[in-house]
Structure 1
Amino acid sequence: MTYTFNETPGSPGAPLIFTFHGTGGNENQFHGLAQELMPQAHVISPRGDVSEQGMLRYFRRKAEGVYDMEDLAQRTSAMADFVAAHKGDAPRVIGLGYSNGANILASVVMARPQLFSDVILMHPLIPWQPAPVDLKGTRVLITAGKHDPICPAPMTQTLADWFKAQGVEAELHWHQGGHELRNEELAAVQDFLR
């Protein structure tokens, strides 16, 4: 699979950030945000190559919250290969994804745990029970809305608990809203990256 992607070179030895957009977004959705969060970083933002009624996604689904698991497995493998091919010798590799982008990022981390050093999952929804993996040394931040109609709070908590059970330094930041991104959430991301 070949991905269209946006890329901004960073300073030598700076972290590398991969950003993953939400449904209906594209490779520009979080590219600029990553540059604002870490101005020296190298940023790569792949575009999802699945169209759902004209909206770009990273994998197919059968309904809201019901994933095509076979397609997800194939696209997880392809995205993991993309990340591996582009990460070079970056000392710190950060993944930042929102909604559908958080889901493909989480799936890649579960399949290939050594690709990322830091993982930011904004409003993820993982409706399956992941197998145990060795994620020691990985840092994870999950941000979510307590009243998110797409990503129910109990499922978000279950995902955070799963990461902690894998030996991860995992933080969970809640806001009082729904599926939207809020300023306090972005502040939590900024603190996490410091």
Structure 2
Amino acid sequence: MHHIFKQGTQEPVFVLLHGTGGDENSLLEIGEMLNEKASILSIRGNVLEGNMPRFFRRVTEGVYDEADLTLRGNELRAFIKEAAANYHFDLRQVILVGYSNGANIAMQLLLHEPELFQKAILFHPMFPVENLPIYSLEKTHIFTTLGEQDPIVSISDSLHVIKVLEERHAVVTKLWTANHQLTYQEILAAKQWLA
């Protein structure tokens, strides 16, 4: 997978996952704002919607191709494991940081690999998926931001994300913002959460 790796001087390792139309450069500045000393693995999604990179296919806005979501989630997990071996970092140091489509694929990883991925920052996730695993997420800590007037993710979609995580006993810290735009306020709150 197209990616950038920047070696930091201390833990953690941020795995940066962009939104629709972004790439491996899109969240680099945000990763550095969260912790300038952390290592960064920033990954470009392998799927194109028109000419916009994504992490998995969707049928229409808000309707996922669930078979492709499973396939791409497995592919991404395997790539992160391979990167950990190649760049010599401990998977236990990984914090998933996703925005929009990147937050959605991060949800897939968290739900399916709770022993592997246990910390995440999810900016404006949505997860309208029928077949969900029932693994416990009691060791999982998540910071998430949700828009009260988000034109892409409705309040009910946001509440569904929280319900899915909390029903599995994840520790979820929530911040409600205005819309789908990623703001400095959110990044600062995520930085404080990390601290």
Normalising by structure 1, report the TM-score: 0.92
Distance 1:112 1:97 in 2: 16
Are 1:61 and 2:58 counterparts?
Answer: yes
Q: Decide which of 85, 108, 111 is 2:82's aligned counterpart.
A: 85
What is residue 5 of structure 1 aligned with on the other side? Answer: 3
Q: How does 1:10-89 map to 2 (within 5 A)?
A: 10-11=8-9, 13-87=10-84, 88-89=89-90
Distance 1:31 1:70 in 2: 30
Q: Deviations over 1:143-181 (max 9, x none)?
A: 011011111111211211221221211111101x22111
State the shift of 1:90 in Å. Answer: 5.2
Are 1:170 and 2:168 counterparts?
Answer: no
State the shift of 1:86 in Å. Answer: 2.5
RMSD: 1.4
Distance 2:15 2:54 in 1: 16
Distance 2:57 2:40 in 1: 26
What is residue 95 of structure 2 aligned with on the other side? Answer: 94
Which runs of no fewer than 5 residues in structure 2 stay unpaired? none
8 A Cα contact 2:92 2:117, kept in partner: no
Q: Deviations over 1:12-43 (max 9, x none)?
A: x5211100000000001112211221111110
8 A Cα contact 2:110 2:118, kept in partner: no
The alignment of Structure 1 onto Structure 2 pairs a total of residues equal to 190
Normalising by structure 2, report the TM-score: 0.92
Mean Cα displacement is larger for which, 108-117 or 38-47? Answer: 108-117
State the shift of 1:105 in Å. Answer: 0.7
